Structure 1
Amino acid sequence: MTEGESFRVDMHVKVLDRQVVERAKARGLDALVYAPHFERLPTVRDEAARYSDDDLLVVPAREVFTGNWQNRRHLLVVGLDDPVPDFIPFDAAMDEFDQQDAAVLAPHPEFLNVSVSEADLETYADRIDAVETYNPKHWSRDNERARTLAAEFDLPAFTSSYAHLRSSVGEAWTEFDRALDSADELVAALKEGARRRIVRRSGWGHRLRCAAEFAHLGWENSYEKIDRLFLSGMEPTHPDHIAYDDRFEGVY
């Protein structure tokens, strides 16, 4: 990629395989940010490295669930050096991200009961690097509210497909005004508020894929998570998991 070119990133996908990579390339993307639920950072890194090549950069990230299950708030974090578990308090999670100098993004703000609120954005405006202003799972009013919040707190915007389904990859992307050659360069661009455009597809195909993603939301937040959280044993990202070596004991 030559200097001066733009860089198109689908900033949040949950799925990754050869079909996803092929679709991303066909849609002209330069990078995907891969942040699956309940997968530890080393696993995410391995998968990202496996599917990255000269034509598509796959950046590992974590969507961290802060707080307890009933009052969880999601943060999309890019550039972590060390794993951070889910379900620790919001303040403790933010402190961890600060220590690692990671880019902290607010996906789907004020959406349902899983998102940062207006009060959170006001309190942490100097520690949050971008707000998602378009999400295919949102209703129009949700996207409008997100744009208003980003403007109110003078925070940069980002967008993503938030793809849980392969067919959604590349439905929306963030386009930076310069080439980015690595995950570190993407993190730096996010943290410095680099210029960007928010781009999404339109038409009936886009609407149908958005509807399919929204329908998937019911499955994702019902049986699938109940099975993983309560029937399948401790999640790999639970702070009590042996992988964290008691580092977060007493934090949550």
Structure 2
Amino acid sequence: MVQEGYAVDLHVKVLDEAVVERAKARGLDALVYAPHFTRLPEIRRQAEAFSDDELTVFPAREIFTGTWQQRRHVLGIGLDDPIPDFITFDGAMRELARQDAAVLVPHPGFLNVSLGLDDIEAYAGTIDALEVYNPKQLGHHRDRAQSFTSDTGHKPFASSYAHVRGTVGEAYVTFAEAFDDVTSLSAALKNDAERTLFHRDGISHNFRRAVEWAHLGLENTWGKFDRLMLQGTEPTHPDQVAYDGRFDDVKVY
């Protein structure tokens, strides 16, 4: 049962009617929707289409910085302008700071897709929160993330990081206040609003974690081959006309 407060799953990758139904059944008030390789206008359109009086979907972008071999992910909430993938980490952080977006660090210290302690300390003034729990993290990943928050003083957060519908609502955060729009959520995160972190446990939760790990394996084998070899240029590549060449100086491909 969801605890008292405004309950937000702060990072999901999937969104459709089944996701909305599950989020409501879990007692959530809001989702933050940040799919991979999807442009901000489309994310906003989908977020608006699936929001209603019972559930708000906030648009966000998990930005894929660097190359496939040296990639670091950052989550921007409250963006004014689109930011592409495949740009340098420094370039992405400068642009997030320029837009005064809330900057969250998903899965810190996780495999080769995450920010390490040196990265977090270098941009301590830009970063607003570190993720200390999602179902994909193993115990040592969570311990490392917790140690990062202790070392840097950043606020923690939790999310389902759901790539599979059934994982939505497995981890979430509650706030004392409700948020009317993504700007107010972003402001709360930037101002270190008090929050309480929750996650489910038990056999069902462990099953959901296993399903997410299976999806991770698929995503990093066939999914990567499909993107690299079979598909055209990603919609979020900095060469796309939508970005008007603004990121040519920081693109990595």
* TM-score greater than 0.5 by the shorter chain: yes
- How many residues are treated as equivalent by the alignment? 248
Residues 250 and 126 (structure 1), Cα distance of their counterparts in 2 relative to 1, 3 Å cut? closer
Q: Which amino acid aligns with 1:212?
A: V
Residue 41 (structure 1) aligns with = 40
Q: Deviations over 1:7-26 (max 9, x none)?
A: 11000000000000010001
| RMSD of equivalent CA atoms | 1.0
Question: Matched residues in 1 for 2:86 and 2:221: separation?
Answer: 18
Question: Matched residues in 2 for 1:230 and 1:102: separation?
Answer: 33
Q: Which amino acid aligns with 1:26?
A: A
Question: Could you tell me how far 1:113 is from its partner in structure 2?
Answer: 0.3
Residue 76 (structure 2) aligns with = 77
8 Å CA contact retained: 1:73, 1:115 = yes
8 Å CA contact retained: 1:229, 1:235 = no
Q: Deviations over 1:192-250 (max 9, x none)?
A: 00000110011100011011101110111111122123321100011111221111123
Residue 177 (structure 1) aligns with = 176
| 2:88 is equivalent to residue 95 of structure 1 | no
Residue 65 (structure 2) aligns with = 66
Question: Could you tell me how far 1:165 is from its partner in structure 2?
Answer: 0.5
Question: Could you tell me how far 1:153 is from its partner in structure 2?
Answer: 0.3
Residues 250 and 179 (structure 1), Cα distance of their counterparts in 2 relative to 1, 3 Å cut? closer
Structure 2 spans left out of the alignment, 5+ residues = none
Q: Which amino acid aligns with 2:31?
A: L
| 2:20 is equivalent to residue 25 of structure 1 | no
Question: Could you tell me how far 1:94 is from its partner in structure 2?
Answer: 0.8
Structure 1 spans left out of the alignment, 5+ residues = none
Question: Matched residues in 2 for 1:67 and 1:221: separation?
Answer: 16
Give the TM-score taking structure 2 as reference length: 0.96
Q: Deviations over 1:79-117 (max 9, x none)?
A: 111110011111111111111110000000010000001
Question: Matched residues in 2 for 1:96 and 1:38: separation?
Answer: 18
Residue 250 (structure 2) aligns with = 251
Q: Deviations over 1:135-183 (max 9, x none)?
A: 1001111111111111110000111000010000000001112222221
Aligned 1:202-221 pairs, distance under 5 A: 202-221=201-220
Question: Matched residues in 1 for 2:247 and 2:144: separation?
Answer: 35
Identity %: 58
Give the TM-score taking structure 1 as reference length: 0.96
SS at 2:220 equivalent:
helix
Residue 235 (structure 1) aligns with = 234
| 2:9 is equivalent to residue 10 of structure 1 | yes
Structure 1 moving runs of 4+ over 6 Å: none
Question: Matched residues in 2 for 1:87 and 1:69: separation?
Answer: 9
